[in-house]
Structure 1
């Protein structure tokens, strides 16, 4: 099998600010793996928070060809080799993993969800994300997102409550909060109490990773479910958060791809946790791969492709807020003209 990679610039429709950073574009890496007849496509959306950037992904991918073997169906063996060789490069591994799953399902002539035995009618509603901004700008963004029944609101600034009031003045949509580890324990306890008046559906990553006692304190104070994102990267991270959170956000770019995402989902379920499937800023390549897993999730936050102005592919769609999976073989993505 042959691998090729290219870096692509993704331009955000609005500058995207979360508690720890702001950006107006992202550099992702597209990966293609060919068996001489068919080609699987994957994507890396690296994050500096997890120690990656586009350059590190390209360097990691240079090590991959000898690890691929000759059979895209040898997914367990291949992903194990990738994890051993590239332990600090989860999005690079995810790109290869997605491409292999795409290629293998294409060989079978079936959509990825069908190969995984999942029901496309059970996809959840996806949220649409509103980044941190001035309250007036947030109002405009909420109006732009009027067609989405669920919004994910990024908090972790000094204007959190002003932002929430501005949002509720504009919409009665379901609201999910993501603080991206931007609060202290005292701030988080206060905020989960104040957020109840806004009818918040859940709160994600209120605290930095670590400090189990602080997580327990926040969960006990919260009237809504508390989810972990940055605290849970891979399946072995789940047990330590059992009893501290109600659910986990599973992202292909954190865990290394479809294979580990499945393990993470099942591990979370075994510990009585709810599951959200989320994303970074991504094209429809990675978004669609994650969407094929979404029938296993309670919540979806798969809108990274909706936040950019130059998506290079078509794939999973959103109708009435709900994810609609493509019917083509593999992940079912197609290049845009």
Structure 2
């Protein structure tokens, strides 16, 4: 039987409400690609990058447009065939999964990784007022690593108030922060020095993508990670010297194939790696797990923030457990 591609949109409710500087979400729509050869089926999932103007419907249409041409499709073909984004991510990961099932070798074995072990992942505290964020941090006080969403309309001073409240509520937690491009045109060096006194380990994307030159000459008391400013390998030249880390997300990179290449290229440039995710189910986190195994920070809590699909990843304490073959790869 010739290979066939089936694609669809699936919707998952968010637990409570997920809020960042750009707004709140109560559900997430993902696109799922299923690639079958008649005996085996490979699956992949992508979440549209909303700040790129992408949508689940557009990603589905892109997959449907290519469905007649998947018979001999290889992962190496995808970068020239489709732009980076949710559609390419879903199809690329479906190809990896199908190849693993056909060969009997898990994806981590094909990559050349050691046997996967449970991995510490960050847990996200949504943007709100300081009191609400402190309550949210207190409710998950046992978690080892918290990622705190900042970028409030009251500016860096308000964000310092938020982070101070979170620190008081979770005095033993490790903290990283995401400014979501909100500190452009402000005294970022001063803000980072204040965050350093709260033992914040990392700050993501303090300035809007494209305005990274505002970081030239900065002496950051806390390392900076490029998120919106880092999409694929083509982003790296503008990052070196301005950021110390990059945040790799498979939806931004357009699949596991590019994400692995991006991680390698970043390492050659002396950049540390954080592996992140969009709001998504365990099907999307499974391939990201293998990128995160090769990085410093993992932010793979997407399934904890939604009503996840059945038989998803297991989370124990602050750790996410490796995916099994029934889920992916």
Cα distance in 1 between the residues matched to 2:252 and 2:58: 15
User: In the superposition, relative to structure 1, how do residues 124 and 247 fare at CA in structure 2: closer, same or farther (>3 Å)?
Assistant: farther
The answer for the alignment partner of 1:184 in structure 2 is 184
Superposed CA offset, 1:186-223 (max 9, x none): 243332121112100101101111234312244x1x21
1:321 — aligned with what? 318
Distance 1:306 1:91, change over 3 A: same
Alpha-carbon deviation of 1:140?
2.5
- 1:103-252 matches, within 5 Å, as 103-121=98-116, 124-157=119-152, 158=154, 159-171=158-170, 172-218=172-218, 220=219, 222-252=220-250
Question: CA–CA distance in 2 between the matches of 1:216 and 1:331?
Answer: 42
Count of residue pairs brought into register by the alignment: 322
Given candidates 40, 43, 52, the residue that maps to 2:42 is: 40
Q: Distance in 1 between matches of 2:138 and 2:292?
A: 27
* Secondary structure of 2:88 counterpart: helix
Equivalent-residue separation in structure 2 for 1:141 and 1:92 (angstroms): 33
The alpha-carbon distance between structure 1 residues 170 and 297, as it changes in their structure 2 partners (threshold 3 A), is: same
SS state at 1:296 partner: coil
**What is the CA deviation profile of residues 226-283 of structure 1, one whole-angstrom value per residue up to 9, with x for unaligned ones?**
1100001001111221111101000000010000001100110010000111100000
Structure 1 residue 300 corresponds to structure 2 residue 302: no
What is residue 56 of structure 2 aligned with on the other side?
A: 54
TM-score, normalization: structure 1? 0.90
User: What does residue range 63-82 of structure 1 map to in structure 2 within 5 Å?
Assistant: 63-70=65-72, 74-77=74-77, 79-80=78-79
CA contact (8 A) 1:239 1:271 kept: no
Q: Give the secondary-structure state (helix, strand or coil) at the position aligned to 1:33.
A: strand
The answer for unaligned runs of 5 or more in structure 1 is 333-337
Which residue number corresponds to residue 268 of structure 1? 266
Superposed CA deviations along residues 85-143 of structure 1, whole A, max 9, x for unmatched, are x32x6111000011111111111223221221112446642100111012222122213
Structure 2: stretches of 5+ with no match in the other structure: none
Corresponding residue for residue 335 of structure 1 = none
**Quick one: distance in 2 between partners of 1:64 and 1:145?**
44
User: Deviation at 1:19?
Assistant: 1.4
Give the whole-Å Cα distance in 2 for the aligned partners of 1:271 and 1:298: 15
Return the offset for 1:21. Answer: 1.9
Using structure 2 for the length normalisation, give the TM-score.
0.92
Q: Which residue of 2 aligns with 1:254?
A: 252
